[in-house]
Structure 1
Amino acid sequence: MFAQKLINSSSRSQNSLPLLYPLRNFSLWSMKKDPDLEAALSRTRRWIVKNQIKNMILRCPDQAASVKYLQKKFRTLDLQVKEEESVKDMQEPFYVERLAKLLMMSTNQRINVVKLNELRRNLRFPDDYIIRILPRYPNMFRLVNHTGRKSSMEIELLSWNPDFAVSAVEASALERGCSPCFSCSLPSSWVQSWERFHEFNAIPYVSPYVCASGLVEGTMEMEKRTVGLVHELLSLTLWKKMSIVKLGHFKKELGLPDKLNVLLLKHPGIFYVSNIYTVLLKDAYNGSELKEMDPLVVVKGKFGELM
């Protein structure tokens, strides 16, 4: 019961959580526009609008609404969206792994619930992930609160799983039988950018699951780890993208630099930064399409077609 109240409270407080990086002080310039990646971002923004309709249904008693009620607002609507819930049920092991990975990358294996709720849909967590996951895995996760305030509630990792401590970069390298390294997507005419990328890539890869306490701030090794951490975070998301402002909320938990936007813009071959304060993982896309689609993306695409 308390966990359910926490979810409801957290959901209400998402829009009221103060930004750690107010937009008026958030110095950010976008990269040269990539038409394909901008099209991908536009497509996901359209889905967000459509998803609001689904959320309206979920807010109704018993998560049901009459067609007549909905037709007052929309001319046509096919309500056959049960497939999404079925996919969510099947993906529980992935929720567990994703949550564990996120906590394993944090500095003290704890993350604030209110902050995490801001990203839960982007990270593919169901709205009820706290009461769906935590009680079933008491040896892995627990809720902690050292102040008594709901806003201070944190999820803590209790056991480290070495099988989860493999990043997307490392997994790709294992498949190809080579050392872990980043891939680069840049026009061949960007000679200087390619040279900087090769120089950066020559530095040994530092896993985001390795403790950063032994690394010195401002060194290339620390930058390598931070780039790897952001790469891994984006790899865990549904559309391989994230709001830079919301990512900045986790500065303390993930050890991110103050000028995160500057770091992202230094690596245009790895990240694409749009003018809507969004960073996208370039190696996850082939043109405007994701190379690998999560089953939930497929279902949401069907939902978009129905709309």
Structure 2
Amino acid sequence: MFITNPTAKTLKKLLSSCKKPNFVFLYQPLNPPYTRTQKSHYVDVYMKWKKDSYYDSIEHIHGSIQLKPIVSLKNCIAEDPSGCIPISQVSKRGLQLDVPMKVASFLRQYPAIFEEYTGPQYNLPWFRLTPEAIEIDKEEKRIFEECKDDFKDRLKRLILMSNGKVLPLKIIQGMQWYLGLPEDFLRCLEMNLDGSFRFVEMEDGLKCLTVESEEKVLSAVQRNAIKRGVYFGEPMEAIEFPLFPSKGLRLRRKIEGWLKEFQKLPYISPYEDYSHLDPNSDIAEKRVVAFLHELLSLFVEHSAERRKLLCLKKYFGLPQKVHKAFERHPHMFYLSLRNKTCTAILKEAYSDTSTIEKHPLLSVRKKYIRLMKDSKQILKNRRSSNRFIKHENLNLGLDLDAAYEE
């Protein structure tokens, strides 16, 4: 439950709760240890959003939104045996490829990636990749081949965090770009199953992918805590989330007190069973925060559009207002409002690069985004050249008129 309007009543409740113990122990041998945690110790928390220019200026995060349709069109061209395609081959697939405008106009916006020329038939515009884009595409294919196990592990972790360790393919496809999986990954997986993955069909007819694994999976938070020697894997053991306050962000005293108590709660891994948790308790929120932290740590840019994560609620046991978790924990997540959307960013990935594993595909995406920036400069130079030519023609015309009058 996420409440945003602080009141005197809740402040009184907070002060009185500080006198109470954090944990109440009962003899319940059939339930896991964390069911003995105090069920409700909540405080009304309203976090004022604070702009942070550092996270707003990370280009590969905010360029990723525009990059997705570019890579899809790049794949259409690269997969063609001739390495080039007529515009008619993709002009009607704009919606499928997430292209926000006419496909031809979109391709012409990126001359550093797509090269236009007149085709052999009917004078139609054709497109091929520039030499720079071809080299990056080769590097991308090489990474997909060399890091195949890494991509499988990221997908496996996503499924293991879900209810019953099974996810509909439509959900996986929705997360495919963020996980960095190649477009044909699921098809290749279906053709070459390695034993850990299995395709199943749910009662409602949805085709799903499940993982059969009994091994204990540790989250990024747990692995880092073990390295620091502050976690030993015992039941009811607490792990404090690493916090990275933005410059100028000040929390009110009562919120700081709530946060200290929140950090002392037992850490519930997103890979553990959570069915015994009271959804209205602090410990349930800590499990939600642990899930969001682990999810973003698996992604290429360690970020995602917040609205794209809402479809995960049903399959990962998340509360209805899960988006509020980003707002309630501004020392862990930053919400950027660039590109007319809300992007959730995992601060730890950009404040302590030694703790979050770098995605193997990140360097390739950065190179594509660099070509996107080069394209803007090319178009700017073209506009300047056109203005110069028009100006020269205008002067030439005036000179001819003057000569004719003489």
- Which of 238, 245, 248 does residue 310 from structure 2 map onto? 248
Helix, strand or coil at the partner of 1:239:
coil
User: Aligned with 2:163: secondary structure?
Assistant: coil
TM-score, normalization: structure 2? 0.61
Query: Would you say the 8 A contact 2:297–2:346 is kept in 1?
Result: yes
Query: Which residue in the other structure is 2:223 paired with?
Result: 171
CA distance in 1, matches of 2:298, 2:286: 19
Aligned to 2:242: 183
- Whether the aligned pair in 2 keeps the contact of 1:30 and 1:274 (CA below 8 Å) is no
Q: Percent identity between the aligned chains? A: 26
Map of 2:62 onto structure 1:
45
- Report the CA distance between 1:52 and its aligned residue: 3.0
2:215 match: 161
Report the residue type matching 2:262 in the other structure. F
CA deviation vs aligned residue, 1:63-86 (integer Å, no higher than 9, x gap): 35349989x835444231210110
1:115-143 deviation line (CA, Å, top 9, x unaligned):
22111010111111113334434421111
User: For 1:260 and 1:121, how far apart are their aligned partners in 2?
Assistant: 21
Q: Does 1:65 align with 2:83?
A: yes
| Amino acid of the structure 2 residue aligned with 1:281 | L
Check the 8 A contact 1:141/1:158 in 2, yes or no. yes
Distance (Å, rounded) in 2 between the aligned partners of 1:215 and 1:156: 24
Aligned counterparts, 1:18-57, within 5 A: 31-40=49-58, 42-57=59-74
CA 1:223–1:65: 2 relative to 1, 3 Å:
same
The answer to whether the 8 Å contact 2:159/2:167 transfers is yes
Alignment correspondent of 1:277? 342
- CA change 1:68–1:222 in 2 (3 A) is closer
Give the counterpart letter for 2:209 in structure 1: I
Structure 1 unmatched ranges of 5 or more: 1-28
Give the Å deviation of 1:277: 2.5
CA distance in 2, matches of 1:148, 1:215: 27
Aligned to 1:13: none
> Aligned pair in 2 of structure 1 residues 256, 191: CA closer, same or farther (>3 Å)?
same
Change (3 A) 1:237 1:268: same
Show CA shifts across 1:64-116 (max 9, x none): 5349989x835444231210110111111112211111111111111111122
Amino acid in the other structure paired with 2:240? C
1:145: Cα distance to partner? 1.9
CA shift in 2, pair 1:175/1:262, >3 Å = same
Q: Tell me how far apart the structure 2 counterparts of residues 291 and 229 of structure 1 sit (CA, whole Å).
A: 15
Structure 2 residue 140 is the aligned partner of structure 1 residue 84: yes
Aligned residue runs from structure 1 range 146-295, under 5 A? 146=202, 149=205, 152-162=206-216, 165-179=217-231, 180-186=239-245, 187=247, 189-190=250-251, 192=253, 193-275=255-337, 276-286=341-351, 293-295=358-360
CA–CA distance in structure 2, aligned partners of residues 159 and 228 of structure 1: 21
Matched position secondary structure for 1:183: coil
Whether the 8 Å CA contact 2:112–2:371 is kept in 1: the answer is: no
Aligned twin of 2:150? 94
Q: What CA distance in whole angstroms lies between the structure 1 residues aligned with 2:352 and 2:290?
A: 22
Give me the whole-angstrom Cα distance separating, in 2, the residues matched to 1:47 and 1:262.
24
Once residues 303 and 160 of structure 1 are traced to their aligned partners in structure 2, the CA distance between those partners, rounded to angstroms, is 39
- How many residue pairs get aligned? The number is 273
Q: Where does structure 2 lack aligned partners over 5 or more consecutive residues?
A: 1-46, 88-103, 114-131, 232-238, 373-406
With 191-200 and 239-248 compared, the bigger mean Cα shift is at 191-200
**Change beyond 3 A, Cα 1:30–1:155:** farther
Match of residue 105 from structure 1: 161
Structure number, greater radius of gyration: 2
